Amino acid sequence: MIKGAYVHIPFCEHICYYCDFNKVFIQKQPVDDYLNALEKEITNQPRSCEIETIFIGGGTPTALNTEQFEKLMVMIKDHLYHNGITEYTVEANPENLDNAKLRLMKNYGVTRLSLGVQTFQNDLLTEIGRPHTNRDVIHVMQEARHYGFDNISIDLMFGLPNQTEDMLRASINEALRLDPEHISIYSLQIEPKTIFYNRMKKGKLVLPGQDIEAQMYELIINELAANGLIHYEISNFAKKGHESRHNLHYWNNDEYFGFGAGAHGYINDKRVVNAGPIKSYIREVNKKGHARTATHEVTRTEKIEEEMFLGLRKLSGVSKRAFYTKYHQTIDDIYSRELADLKERGLLTEDEKRVALTKQGVFLGNTVFESFIK
């Protein structure tokens, strides 16, 4: 059963130095043609099920002008939204989320905002290529509350160039003062074809290092837990009842639609990928009604592997009952040797209901995940 729909808006006013997502500068792009193609792709998708969550990401959805943004909101309302939607999220950047867009989102049923903050130090924001300031974040949070948004997530990052633990602690404290319902906090990953990657190759990027990153991660866990946020996924913390329902579909290995340029989907046991370049995406949709350039039939073995390494990202772990219902085998039937090894090393814990990471396992998640890939 398809549980969610992800909609990709690949336009940005600025390109952050660490970002490797499918995105382009919005200036001089065929934005209206893209939105027309996006609507065509969505309407051509079989509607044999009613999704539970919608997530509009990017890029920067709020980089659209007000008229284009309303066109997007109307499109989602007409073709994806229904009364059974339990969560409707839009990603936004503080510098281009204005009152007109907040009003449109509220009027068209958006229930959750995800704000790309990253850090509250203005010097660090400049260092990573972000155009907003900490004052922009405070203003946007105040305005969003004014318009009635009561489910707001803040994205933060750690392991940034020249970032210290004191800087990170200050950012966490600033975020907590704004009282968001959810905080996602990710370590910096240096990806090819990014400005940071090129700087690193030239020896011009000063990073904290793995030991300091581990200390930063422990600081994050302790600080957020002390302030009542539940650590429910490796990189995500929430007030009770405000866990990201859409992202839980991914970690539960549920199926979902992926609409837009470069979007990935999981539909009827197939992983599908859309054309990434904007013009290629528009051309393919106008020609075929969709833009899929790659389709992979997921084997039973791959499903089981994904069930483990995605599910173990959740601090609640992998449910033994759910696993058996899906695959008609127990986890121990398939992975008894791996389970024994990881428990002996103190990385996994197991009881009659679940298998989950230990505290040490959370810090060494990738090592654990690799054990379940044959």
In the chain, % of residues over pLDDT 70:
99
CB 90 within 8 Å of CB 110: yes
Give the 3-state secondary structure of the chain. Answer: CEEEEEEEECEECCCCCCCCCCCEECCCCCHHHHHHHHHHHHHHCCCCCCCCEEEEEECCHHHCCHHHHHHHHHHHHHHCCCCCCCEEEEEECHHHCCHHHHHHHHHCCCCEEEEEEECCCHHHHHHCCCCCCHHHHHHHHHHHHHCCCCCEEEEEEECCCCCCHHHHHHHHHHHHHCCCCEEEEEECCCCCCCHHHHHHHCCCCCCCCHHHHHHHHHHHHHHHHHCCCEEEECCEEECCCCCCHHHHHHHCCCEEEEECCCCEEEECCEEEEECCCHHHHHHHHHHHCCCEEEEEECCHHHHHHHHHHHHCCECCCEEHHHHHHHHCCCHHHHHHHHHHHHHHCCCEEECCCEEEECHHHHHCHHHHHHCCCC
Contacting residues for 92 by C-beta, under 8 A, at least 6 apart: 60, 61, 62, 101, 113, 114, 115, 116, 140
Report in angstroms the alpha-carbon separations of 362 from 200, 312, 315: 27, 9, 8
Give ranges for CATH 3.80.30.20 in the chain. Answer: 2-250
Residue 246 CB neighbour total at 10 angstroms: 24
pLDDT higher than threshold 80 for residue 123 = yes
| Mean pLDDT calculated for residue range 245-271 | 97
pLDDT at 13: 85
pLDDT higher than threshold 90 for residue 46 = no
pLDDT at 195: 85
pLDDT in tens, 354-374: 999 999 999 999 999 999 997
| Mean pLDDT calculated for residue range 183-210 | 88
pLDDT higher than threshold 70 for residue 170 = yes
Q: Which residue has the higher pLDDT, 315 or 205?
A: 315
pLDDT higher than threshold 80 for residue 20 = no
Homologous superfamily in CATH for domain 2-250: tm_1862 like domain (3.80.30.20)
pLDDT higher than threshold 70 for residue 240 = yes
Question: In 322-340, which positions are buried (b, 16+ CB within 10 angstroms) versus exposed (e)?
Answer: ebeeeeeeebeebbeebbe
Residue 81 CB neighbour total at 10 angstroms: 18
pLDDT higher than threshold 70 for residue 48 = no
Least confident of 58-67, 105-114, 199-208: 199-208
| Mean pLDDT calculated for residue range 211-232 | 97
pLDDT in tens, 286-298: 999 999 999 999 9
Backbone angles phi, psi at 109, to 5 degrees: 95, 10
pLDDT higher than threshold 70 for residue 117 = yes
| Mean pLDDT calculated for residue range 5-11 | 96
Which amino acid, one-letter code, is at 114?
S
Domain 300-370: assigned CATH number: 1.10.10.920
pLDDT higher than threshold 60 for residue 9 = yes
pLDDT in tens, 327-346: 999 999 999 999 999 999 99
Give ranges for CATH 1.10.10.920 in the chain. Answer: 300-370
Question: Quick one: tokens of 11?
Answer: 């336009």
pLDDT at 3: 94
Q: Which long-range contacts (CB under 8 A, 24 or more apart) does 222-225 make?
A: 223/169, 223/172, 223/173, 223/176, 224/172, 224/176, 224/183
pLDDT at 14: 80
